[in-house]
Amino acid sequence: MQTYLTLNELRAKLGNRSRSAIYLDLEAGRLPKPVKLGGKLYWPQDDVDAHLRNLREEAA
Protein backbone atom coordinates (compact mmCIF):
# COMPACT_ATOMS: atom_id res chain seq x y z
CA MET A 1 0.00 0.00 0.00
CA GLN A 2 1.36 3.41 -0.99
CA THR A 3 1.94 5.88 1.81
CA TYR A 4 2.09 9.62 1.27
CA LEU A 5 4.11 12.32 2.99
CA THR A 6 2.75 15.73 3.85
CA LEU A 7 4.92 18.78 3.28
CA ASN A 8 5.91 18.80 6.97
CA GLU A 9 6.83 15.11 6.86
CA LEU A 10 8.85 15.68 3.69
CA ARG A 11 10.62 18.63 5.32
CA ALA A 12 11.56 16.46 8.31
CA LYS A 13 12.79 13.67 6.04
CA LEU A 14 15.02 16.15 4.20
CA GLY A 15 16.62 17.53 7.35
CA ASN A 16 14.08 20.28 8.08
CA ARG A 17 14.56 22.11 4.79
CA SER A 18 12.45 25.21 4.48
CA ARG A 19 9.20 25.22 2.52
CA SER A 20 10.69 27.61 -0.04
CA ALA A 21 13.79 25.41 -0.50
CA ILE A 22 11.56 22.42 -1.19
CA TYR A 23 9.57 24.33 -3.80
CA LEU A 24 12.82 25.51 -5.41
CA ASP A 25 13.98 21.87 -5.52
CA LEU A 26 10.69 20.90 -7.17
CA GLU A 27 11.09 23.59 -9.84
CA ALA A 28 14.65 22.47 -10.52
CA GLY A 29 13.62 18.80 -10.76
CA ARG A 30 15.59 17.77 -7.68
CA LEU A 31 12.51 16.28 -6.02
CA PRO A 32 9.71 14.12 -7.42
CA LYS A 33 6.43 15.87 -8.22
CA PRO A 34 3.71 15.77 -5.56
CA VAL A 35 0.21 14.38 -5.98
CA LYS A 36 -2.77 16.62 -5.25
CA LEU A 37 -5.37 14.88 -3.08
CA GLY A 38 -8.34 16.83 -1.76
CA GLY A 39 -6.68 20.18 -2.40
CA LYS A 40 -3.44 19.30 -0.55
CA LEU A 41 -0.11 18.16 -1.90
CA TYR A 42 1.33 14.79 -0.92
CA TRP A 43 4.52 13.05 -1.96
CA PRO A 44 4.48 9.27 -2.50
CA GLN A 45 6.97 7.96 0.05
CA ASP A 46 8.30 5.29 -2.32
CA ASP A 47 9.08 7.94 -4.95
CA VAL A 48 10.88 10.15 -2.43
CA ASP A 49 12.90 7.20 -1.06
CA ALA A 50 13.89 6.07 -4.58
CA HIS A 51 14.84 9.62 -5.54
CA LEU A 52 17.03 10.05 -2.43
CA ARG A 53 18.64 6.64 -3.04
CA ASN A 54 19.48 7.68 -6.62
CA LEU A 55 21.02 10.94 -5.41
CA ARG A 56 23.23 9.04 -2.93
CA GLU A 57 24.35 6.60 -5.63
CA GLU A 58 25.21 9.45 -8.02
CA ALA A 59 27.24 11.19 -5.31
CA ALA A 60 29.23 8.05 -4.48
Q: Tell me: the pLDDT tens digits for 3-52?
A: 999 999 999 999 999 999 999 999 998 899 999 999 999 999 999 999 98
In terms of residues, how long is the chain? 60
58 — pLDDT class (breaks 50, 70, 90): confident
* Predicted pLDDT of residue 56: 87
Task: Output the pTM of the full model.
Answer: 0.84
Are the C-beta atoms of 13 and 49 separated by less than 8 Å?
no
DSSP secondary structure of the chain: ---EE-HHHHHHHTTS--HHHHHHHHHTTSSPPPEEETTEEEEEHHHHHHHHHHHHHHH-
Measured CA to CA, the distance from residue 39 to residue 14 in angstroms comes to 23
* Predicted pLDDT of residue 22: 95
